[in-house]
Amino acid sequence: MTNRPSVDPVRWQPPPVTPLPEFGPAELTVVPMPGDAPEDIVVDADGALWTGLVDGRIVRIGPDGTVAVVGQTTGRPLGMTVTRDGRLLICTSPGGLLAMDRATGHTEVLVDSINFRPLNFCSNVVELPDGTIYFTQSTAKFTYANFKGAIIEARGDGGLFKRDPDGTTSTVLDNLYFANGLTATRDGTALVFAETQGRRLSKYWLTGSKAGTVTVLAEHLPAMPDNISTGTDGRIWVAMVTPRNAVADALAPRMPLLRKLVWALPDRWQPQIDPAVNVVAFDPDSGAAVAGVLMKRADFGVVTGLVEHRGRLWMSSIGFPAVASCPVPA
């Protein structure tokens, strides 16, 4: 790989592993996309699904199954959400946080910098009923094209940020280990966010005596959480993009020079993503894993986004040119 940015790793102790229940396969329906790697998937009030392809195209899947390209971003589209007024918020890397008119495909930039630094890796986003927008940044240094650099460095430079209705932005949390998925609990009392490298889910409390504080919901996960969403029954659905990599974990506490050498290797010799279909639902209060799907298929895997819609769990993937769905696991 040419023009790869340099890395400056630090010694870091990965979390231990607590096994999850052994969830089984599901009957999957795969829907081809007009391009590769749809990273997230969300649903609007009209029952249409939305996703973004690696080349920047924004795709609508209508209630009748019709697939259409509606818009285009310059950066790689990542996490999405639909606002109260019907706009599609899109995290892009690079490019920042965008808002797209679903009818015309016109986009505008909402946030392109934080604390006078470019918003290089906007990862996921949620809007609250009062119009406040929260969003994550996985790393301040790298863009999506070089996301493995942040994992190798292990500097925990991700964060959670807020955009008030008047456009003011502020830092909510920093020093997060690859902040990624973000969703509000069904009762609106907290946000749940994922740290992919930290392999944990945490709650940032919005109301009550805990407001402004963070508590861990689930930790020591055996796989790396990506995008997340809240199910109709309040469960927190998590896309587990890949199992923890034992080699990468073994290198993390050792000489940083070793990880610099790994970064210099061709992509094919670096730790790789395991292409499984792995999604897990967590209880929003106890953090217990209560349902899930785990299987391998030749035509779909590497799940990075998911959303419930009309009794089915829809999934997106950075590893395949398709989205897929299955009945919502009980």
pTM, two decimal places: 0.97
Per-residue pLDDT band at 86 (split at 50, 70, 90): very high
**Which residues, in sequence order, are CB contacts of 209 under 8 Å at separation 6+?**
none
Q: Is the pLDDT of residue 273 over 60?
A: yes
pLDDT of residue 2: 53
Q: Average pLDDT for residues 225-245, to the nearest whole number?
A: 97
Quick count: other Cβ atoms within 10 Å of Cβ 269?
A: 9
Which domains are assigned to the chain?
Answer: 35-327 (2.120.10.30)
Q: Is the pLDDT of residue 124 over 90?
A: yes
Q: Are 287 and 280 in contact (CB under 8 A)?
A: no
Which tens digit of pLDDT belongs to each residue from 138-186?
A: 999 999 999 999 999 999 999 999 999 999 999 999 999 999 999 999 9
Per the listing, tokens 């508590």 go with 215
SS3 145: helix
